[in-house]
Chains A and B, each alone.
Chain A
Amino acid sequence: MAEFLQFCVSGLTVGAVYALVALGFTIIYNASDVVNFAQGEFVMIGGMATVFLTAAGVPLPLAALIAIAAAMVVGLALHRLAIEPARGASPVTLIIITIGASIFLRGLAQVVFDRQFHSLPSFSGDTPIQFGGAAILPQSFWVLAGAGIIVLALWAFFNRTLLGKAVLATAANRLAARLVGINTSFVVGFSFVVSAAIGAIAGILVTPITLTSYDIGTLLALKGFAAAMLGGMGNPLGAIVGGLAVGLLEAFGAGYLSSTYKDAIAFIVILGVLFVMPGGLFGRASVERV
């Protein structure tokens, strides 16, 4: 039982990060049909910028805010300089542009930051909390709470604000949205900025647990993409469920079956689900409703 709880905690913590990356995919995908493979780089920028700012003497909360702002600027630049000029191109072309952007950002990070691994001090200490035989790091609660707050805030934003509804309208039908007076280019750019901010927050929250370096984005983008596909591309709830599911699958796979094939186990389950439900767990139906 203690082992089961430990695997759950481990899976949920890692899964929350995948969920936040998947959420970033979802927001941009909804607004523009683009799968943004530079999403993992936002996570990296959040973590690395915070590390270097705190090392330079900036207090942690301020450093985190500056790092999030920096990621948002990069997100906006990505849209304005790379995606917007190619508007009208097919989604595949745009996706390839984002892959190029992610390689570029990784290269840039090597120059601006460095090639070493870095860590941040935990926000509220390193003493694990014992719960039913499982040891939970306080930072895990920060990650889970952060993910929960972001999801709630996004839900409120999309359902309670005019701008949020404009994003949903653009996602549903860009031409119609433009006809009713929504500036769709602004909305798409805005979705990049929001995604970048979410990625950066995720990066800051997990750095004390997972460490960070210039190239952590690649793997996170891959796992986050898998999570988004599992949950149903374009569905925010699906992104969260998909992310947590991938995290739990990895933890249980490593714990109960074989640590060597842990990634394979997760991906086999994902393939199995997609085989039966091609749209993902929350796919088709919700997309139509939006």
Chain B
Amino acid sequence: MTNLKTCLGGAALLAGAAMFAGTATAADTIKIGASLAVTGPASFLGDPEAKTLELYVDKINKDGGVNGKQLELIVYDDGGNANNARTFATRLVEDDGIVAMVGGSTTGATMAMVPVFEDAGIPFISLAGAVVIIDPVKEFTFKTPHTDRMACEKIFTDMKARGIAKIGMISGTGGFGKSMRGQCLDVVGSYGIEVVADETYGPKDSDMTPQLTNIKSAEGLQAVINPGFGQGPAIVTRNYRQLGIEVPLYQSHGVASKSFIDLAGDAAEGVRLPASALLVAEKLPDSDPQKAVVLGYKTAYEEATGQPVSTFGGHAYDGLMILVEAMKRAGSEDPAAIRDEIEKTSGFMGTAGVVNMSADDHLGLDLSAFRMLEIKDGDWALVE
């Protein structure tokens, strides 16, 4: 009896999965694939991405589709797992017959899927962060989010403008913090800035005062930068104020969310960080060419989902729009033609900034994509 129940349950699940995965396969639709971390530890990335894709594919279809055809979005949930992502990528190519792919929420999942799409010759726009995705350039692989290297450069540019030459670093040892620390150390020299203290903390540490005490006593300290992600930077910020360190504190784009301000509380006042314009959509001056795009996306997303907008959903918006415009320009659904047009994307205004791709730049963003923000009265304020 129990076995029978399990069987029935399993069959129902399978049927559900099949319905979720693919519906009618009418010949007059353009199939776009996505494998996202909708659930699991990276769901804060994949969940807004999936919602954004579904929302905008619906919108585009209501407005008549692309090249006179309706879009058909096929979303799989890889849970951030690289093995699952690879399996889904193969299924999307071989069984579902997609013409283009958006997503890959995490760098791991993206890198696992790259060979599948490169072999099949299908354009793949990743939504993950790391620079390895597009460096070295791969023929069919693109990405929309800015890299951590750009975040470092943005911070150092701001420091230089303030006349800061000696800084301390306190970095998380998780994937994000580690990668950004490496990128920052790599580019810091070209800004004439010297790192006088370099400390780290574990991703689950709950007290960073010993490390900050050492940084505080470093000779000639003028600012501190904290590459990290999750609750670590909030604790660093609190400990920073506890120890009464007076020099400016810079956080990374990894904490660019309201929850950071909530967690760090009053200690967050005066903290600077590079972030997407999406966070300050309403505060942008009307003359800002990005304002219409970010405000439009923010309003649409928040109305449809009832949740606050996140930069990650914005990356999915950028990816889908770049793809749709490329398909319109190509005038066909031939994957190779779409790829060529994606590479020719220029002057595209997305939530992350202006995208100008080329044969050796499959990201196409420059430093203007980041806005330097300062936390004032518990809210974001534009520095520039």
The residues of A with any CB-CB pair to B shorter than 8 Å are 3, 6-7, 9-11, 13-14, 17, 115-119, 121, 126, 128, 135, 137, 206, 209-211, 213, 216, 219, 250-252, 254-255, 259-260, 262-263
Contact = CB atoms under 8 A, between A and B. Distances in A.
Nearest to B260: A117
Nearest to A5: B213
B90 interface: no
A252 B248 CA distance: 26
Interface string B204-238: 10110111011001000000000000110011001
B156 to A, nearest CB: 23
Contact of B207 (A14, A213, A216, A260): A14
A210 B217 CA distance: 24
Nearest to B263: A119
A11 B202 CA distance: 16
B213 A7 contact: yes
B242 interface: yes
22 contacts: A3-B214, A6-B210, A6-B213, A10-B213, A14-B206, A115-B43, A115-B44, A116-B259, A117-B230, A119-B265, A126-B266, A128-B244, A135-B243, A135-B244, A206-B206, A211-B231, A211-B235, A211-B263, A213-B231, A219-B204, A250-B210, A259-B214
B231 A117 contact: yes
Nearest to B202: A263
A6 B243 contact: yes
Contacts of A263: 202
Nearest to B235: A211
Interface in B235-267: 235, 238, 241-244, 259, 262-263, 265-267
A260 B242 contact: no
B262 A119 contact: yes
A211 B243 contact: no
Contact of B206 (A6, A11, A137, A209): A209
Contacts of A210: 206-207, 235
A226 to B, nearest CB: 14
A273 B200 CA distance: 27
Contacts of A211: 206, 231, 234-235, 263
Contacts of B214: 3, 255, 259
A31 to B, nearest CB: 29
Interface residue tally on B, bucketed by range: 20 to 34
Contacts of B213: 3, 6-7, 10, 255
Given A14-B206, A211-B235, A262-B210, 6 more contacts: A3-B213, A3-B217, A7-B213, A10-B213, A126-B266, A254-B201
A117 B264 CA distance: 11
A276 B77 CA distance: 51
B67 interface: no
A259 B206 contact: no
Nearest to B264: A119
Contact of B200 (A6, A116, A117, A259): A259
Interface of B: 43-44, 173, 199-202, 204, 206-207, 209-211, 213-214, 217, 230-231, 234-235, 238, 241-244, 259, 262-263, 265-267
A259 to B, nearest CB: 5
B267 to A, nearest CB: 8
Nearest to B204: A219
**A115, A121, A260 — most chain B CB neighbours (10 Å):** A260
A121 B231 CA distance: 16
A251 B204 contact: no
B206 A255 contact: no
A126 B263 contact: no
A144 to B, nearest CB: 14
A128 B244 CA distance: 9
B207 A13 contact: yes
A6 B259 contact: no
B218 to A, nearest CB: 12
B39 to A, nearest CB: 10
A6 B209 contact: yes
Contact of A126 (B43, B243, B265): B265
B47 to A, nearest CB: 10
Contact of B242 (A137, A219, A250, A259): A137
Contact of A259 (B199, B230, B231): B199
Contact of B263 (A7, A117, A262): A117
A259 B201 contact: yes
B206 A251 contact: no
A118 B209 CA distance: 20
B329 to A, nearest CB: 40
Nearest to A137: B242
Contacts of B209: 6-7, 9-10, 251
A128 B202 contact: no
B210 A7 contact: yes
B173, B199, B217 interface centre (most CB from chain A within 10 Å) = B199
A255 B207 CA distance: 12
A216 B242 contact: no
Contacts of B206: 14, 17, 206, 209-211, 216
Given A10-B209, A14-B207, A262 B265 contact: no
A121 B209 CA distance: 19
Nearest to B41: A115
A216 B263 contact: no
A280 B241 CA distance: 38
Contact of B173 (A250, A251, A260): A260
Nearest to A263: B202
Given A117-B231, A259-B201, A10 B263 contact: no
A209 B266 contact: no
A219 B262 CA distance: 24
B185 to A, nearest CB: 14
A128 B242 contact: yes
